[in-house]
């Protein structure tokens, strides 16, 4: 008996040991893989034409487009494959004074705004990404409107943050008919707000972050696009925060990154849009990390922020908004990559660097995007209640499910992915389900699925129903576990 008890105790200790080891391994694996990305360059330096800076990288109709800066050379390149990119516009759209380009997709078209301090910015559009036509006049009615930096869609219109160093920046709204409306007064009444560098939508409101070198950057918001109010104290209490260089949202917070060349970029966040808390150390621990990237990629619940530094740009990532991890080496291995303006996601994270030896584009490897399960949906029966839940895998919550075609009559799909109801017709019903996440940019995945509906299946006479059988199995299992634990307990005590 003593040998038996000793053997049982030893076996329990061994089992417990392996359970701990497995648990530690799983936790370690999650921590190790949280930001473990590898990177590769996907362009020839400067695209082979001497381009020095990448302004934006955007997705249009499934293709990536990168824009550059340069007097008489500002261009838009479409990514083909490998390291091959194709220029899709005439350099600077044929105007030597157009020195950089900010592209953005809207209403099934690709738009591009140039910077032009001579005659005013130019707005161009393309339906196919290669053929372009100008929209409106130079400066869109004001020759001092010299460029657009921020752009975001809100309530069906595309809002543009405009730089105007004479009378103050403003926000314009572009609608689907290419009508352009000035939404705000110049600088929201303060001419020192010279530029609205970045825009974002959070909690049903649109936010616009300014540049203000006198009193510090200001953040303004509106729930309807027309009536605006300031959402922060100037410079978040520090006049050295000259620009709000980035705005993005993650989980239940909106984040604002600043340009601060004295103590380093600051990252602030709020869950209500008015109460702000700093969530990084100044400059992420280095005062030379002076500004955050204009665009931020939010992928699978993790935000990736670029930071400019004359000794080599950095990238930092966070999943909880307060713990930041440097992603990759300085400049991803090239210290000449000194500035980051462009980050996006299209199956991989793409980052564009300013480099005096030629602008570089890098992409992440080994990153899995949004999907959802299950692989197949269970069959249903006429007259019997049906329930099945769709489960998002990866991506960034919250998610929104939608339906193309029809579910079996009697069934419905909720936005959070729950199919329920009571089927009324027999047959095989096929349809397409789409899920959209809340990342930046949003990931969109569609799948064709089928539900088979059969006639009602009645239990055999005298036989226990499936529910009774399952309940009895659970009860017997619990009795067995209790009995076994009691025996082991008695043996151990003896």
Could you tell me which residues come within 8 angstroms of residue 482 by beta carbon, excluding any fewer than 6 positions away? none
Shared domain for 102 and 161, answered yes or no, is: yes
Shared domain for 12 and 130, answered yes or no, is: no
Provide the CATH number for the domain around residue 456. Answer: 2.60.40.10
Residue 347 DSSP code: S
Residue 458 pLDDT: 52
Could you tell me which residues come within 8 angstroms of residue 68 by beta carbon, excluding any fewer than 6 positions away? 47, 51, 52, 53, 54, 55, 74, 75, 76, 77, 100, 101, 359
Shared domain for 190 and 211, answered yes or no, is: yes
Shared domain for 268 and 396, answered yes or no, is: no
Is residue 74 assigned to a domain?
yes
Shared domain for 329 and 230, answered yes or no, is: yes
Residue 31 pLDDT: 32
Distance in angstroms (rounded) separating the CA atoms of residues 291 and 258:
6
Provide the CATH number for the domain around residue 179. Answer: 2.130.10.10
Residue 362 has which token pair?
A: 């890098």
Is residue 184 assigned to a domain?
yes
Shared domain for 338 and 387, answered yes or no, is: no
The answer to whether the CB of 417 falls within 8 A of the CB of 377 is no
Residue 126 has which token pair?
A: 């393309």
Q: In what order do the strands lie in the sheet with 349-355?
A: 38-41, 360-365, 349-355, 337-345
- Could you please report the per-residue DSSP string of 69-90? B-TTT--EEEEEETTEEEE-S-
Low-confidence ranges of the chain (pLDDT < 50): 1-34, 460-479, 481-494
Is residue 415 assigned to a domain?
yes
Shared domain for 193 and 284, answered yes or no, is: yes
Residue 367 pLDDT: 86
Shared domain for 332 and 358, answered yes or no, is: yes
Is residue 494 assigned to a domain?
no
How many domains would you assign to the chain? 3
Domain that holds residue 135: 38-365
Is residue 489 assigned to a domain?
no
């Amino acid at each position: 008996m003593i040998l038996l008890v000793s053997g049982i105790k030893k076996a329990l200790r061994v089992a417990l040991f392996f359970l701990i080891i497995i648990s530690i391994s799983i936790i370690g694996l999650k921590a190790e893989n949280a930001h473990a990305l590898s990177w590769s360059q996907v362009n020839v330096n400067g695209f082979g034409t001497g381009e020095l800076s990448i302004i934006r990288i955007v997705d249009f109709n499934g293709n990536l487009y990168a824009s550059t800066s340069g007097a008489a050379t500002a261009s838009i390149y479409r990514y083909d494959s490998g390291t091959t990119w194709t220029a899709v516009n005439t350099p600077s759209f044929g105007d030597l004074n157009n020195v950089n380009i900010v592209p953005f997709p809207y209403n099934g078209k690709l738009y591009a705004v140039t910077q032009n301090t001579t005659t005013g910015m130019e707005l161009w559009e393309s339906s196919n990404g290669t053929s372009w036509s100008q929209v409106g006049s130079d400066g869109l009615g004001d020759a001092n409107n010299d460029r657009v930096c921020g752009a975001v869609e809100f309530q069906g219109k595309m809002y543009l943050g405009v730089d105007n160093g004479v009378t103050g920046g403003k926000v314009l709204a572009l609608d689907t008919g290419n009508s352009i409306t000035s939404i705000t007064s110049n600088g929201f009444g303060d001419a020192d707000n010279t530029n609205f560098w970045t825009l974002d939508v959070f909690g049903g409101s649109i936010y616009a972050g300014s540049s203000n070198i006198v009193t510090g950057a200001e953040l303004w918001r509106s729930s309807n696009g027309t009536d605006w109010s300031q959402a922060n104290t100037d410079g978040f209490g520090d006049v050295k925060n000259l620009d709000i260089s980035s705005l993005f949202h993650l989980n239940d917070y909106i984040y604002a990154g600043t340009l601060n060349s004295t103590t380093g970029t600051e990252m602030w966040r709020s869950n209500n849009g008015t109460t702000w808390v700093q969530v990084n150390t100044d400059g992420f621990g280095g005062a030379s990390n002076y500004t955050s990237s204009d665009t931020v990629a939010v992928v699978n619940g993790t935000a990736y922020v670029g930071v400019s530094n004359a000794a080599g740009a950095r990238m930092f990532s966070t999943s909880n908004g307060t713990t930041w991890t440097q992603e990759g080496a300085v400049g991803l291995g090239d210290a000449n990559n000194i500035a980051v303006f462009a980050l996006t996601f299209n199956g991989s994270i793409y980052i564009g660097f300013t480099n005096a030896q030629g602008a570089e584009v890098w992409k992440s490897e080994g990153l899995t995007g949004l999907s959802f399960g299950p692989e197949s949906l269970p069959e249903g029966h006429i007259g019997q209640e049906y329930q099945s839940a769709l489960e998002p895998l990866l991506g960034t919550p919250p998610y929104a499910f939608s339906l193309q075609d029809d579910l079996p009559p009697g069934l419905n799909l909720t936005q959070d992915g729950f199919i329920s109801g009571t089927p009324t017709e027999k047959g095989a019903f096929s349809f397409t389900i789409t899920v959209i996440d809340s990342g930046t940019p949003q990931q969109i995945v569609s799948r064709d699925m089928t539900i088979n509906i059969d006639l009602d299946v009645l239990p055999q006479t005298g036989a226990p129903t499936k529910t009774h059988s399952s309940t009895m199995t659970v009860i017997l299992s619990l009795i067995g576990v209790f009995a076994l634990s009691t025996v082991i307990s008695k043996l151990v005590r003896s």
